[in-house]
Structure 1
Amino acid sequence: MTAEFKTVFRTPWFEIRTVDPGEEPSGTTEPYYVVVRPSGVIAFVLDREGAVVLVEQYRPPLGRVTLEMPAGSVDAGETLETAVAREVLEETGLVCEHWHLIAPCRLALQREDVVDHFFVGLGAHEAEGFQRTERGTVQFLPRSELLDLVKSHRFDQTAALGGLYVAEKLFGIDLLTADLACIQSAMATSAGGDPGN
């Protein structure tokens, strides 16, 4: 049995839908609400020296600025690779020489049926003649500093860390501590020997 969801609230970025009590397969007697939004991309970006690229973002629900990996929605008709490159360019003014899709992930199974896609971008450098469209300050941190933020519970975008875990399990390399040359080699090997993937 498939429940029929009805839209009860709509914005340009997401919708909230509900299913009437008794229609949802679990048999709940309360209305059940879900969030509907486009698929997304999350980017772990390293520059040519191996620093991780993070963006300061003001988050109204938290009432403060956070430090995050670039991320955003996939636009209609856009490939995942185009979406992640666009988001990184808009948020940081950078382009990456190589992109590697690590894994899809679902972040809020109880509220949405959305897949976010975790990418590693290597060789980030400034895009010539590009004017950034977003206001957040871009930071280039040694990866050891990001690791310190994670260990001290000061990195709020913890869901993105799942992508780092998957990368380590798939490729046997810790993206926060490994030498940049080892990361480049592991990513090239994962792409079938073509470092341009």
Structure 2
Amino acid sequence: MSSLEEKTVKTEHIFSGRIIQVQVDEVELPNGKTSTRELVKHPGAVAVIAITDDNKLVMVEQYRKPLEKVIVEIPAGKLEKGEDPALCARRELEEETGYDCESLELVSSFYTSPGFADEIIHVYVAKGLTKKEDAAGLDEDEFVNVLEITLEEALQFMEEQRIFDAKTIFGIQYLQIANLKE
């Protein structure tokens, strides 16, 4: 056991929904005292930096209720239980944008908010995009506008706070670094 590890003494399940579960854990701290931790359990997600042959980013514009505003994001979605992240990335790209891809490469995986949630997101780059005639559609409660924008436009959207979420900013900064290396 690490000298920093907290031992769970008791778990109280507070809420179980379609996407998340919330629990409160009582923990024993490294100094022997106890405290509580409010935790959000999430099945994980994927996000796709989709690049067209003419070097545009395929993005989705959608309303985000927690923010009470419309933002522009890279396509993304929740993993189903036991689902392979790469297959989920292809599925979400098709559902949200109508595109399929020739190549899909994992860029990185990271925890989104490790102070209270266990959500991990796997970020991929998709190239060789092809618009599918018979693409799977959006979920019935999902509404998006598909945009194709340049990297420069994406940077402008960041300044305007139209792009304002971590996974999308990560994707844009990844592309900036990749462009510097070329």
The amino acid that maps onto 1:104 is: S
Query: Structure 1 length as normaliser, TM-score?
Result: 0.77
Equivalent residue of 1:13, what SS?
coil
Distance of aligned partners of 1:165 and 1:24 in 2 relative to their CA distance in 1, 3 Å threshold: farther
1:135 aligns with 143
Task: Report percent identity of matched pairs.
Answer: 24
Point out where structure 2 has 5 or more consecutive residues left out of the alignment: 1-5
Q: CA deviation at 1:101?
A: 0.1
Q: CA deviation at 1:96?
A: 1.2
Q: How many residues align?
A: 171
Give the strand-richer structure, 1 or 2: 2
**Which of 107, 116, 124 lines up with 1:119 in the alignment?**
124
Per-residue deviation, residues 98-155 of structure 1 (Å, max 9, x unmatched): 1010111111010112321111111222113225224211001122100222244431
1:6 aligns with 12
**Which of 19, 22, 26 lines up with 2:25 in the alignment?**
19
The amino acid that maps onto 1:135 is: F
1:80 matched to 2:88? The reply is no
Query: Structure 2 length as normaliser, TM-score?
Result: 0.83
Asked whether the equivalents of residues 94 and 136 of structure 2 are also in contact (C-alpha less than 8 Å), the reply is no
The amino acid that maps onto 2:150 is: P
Point out where structure 1 has 5 or more consecutive residues left out of the alignment: 183-197
Alignment RMSD (CA, Å): 2.3
1:146 aligns with 154
1:195 aligns with none
Per-residue deviation, residues 47-100 of structure 1 (Å, max 9, x unmatched): 121110110111111212111111111112211110000111111111111101
Residues 136-175 of structure 1: pairs in structure 2 closer than 5 A: 136-165=144-173, 173-174=178-179
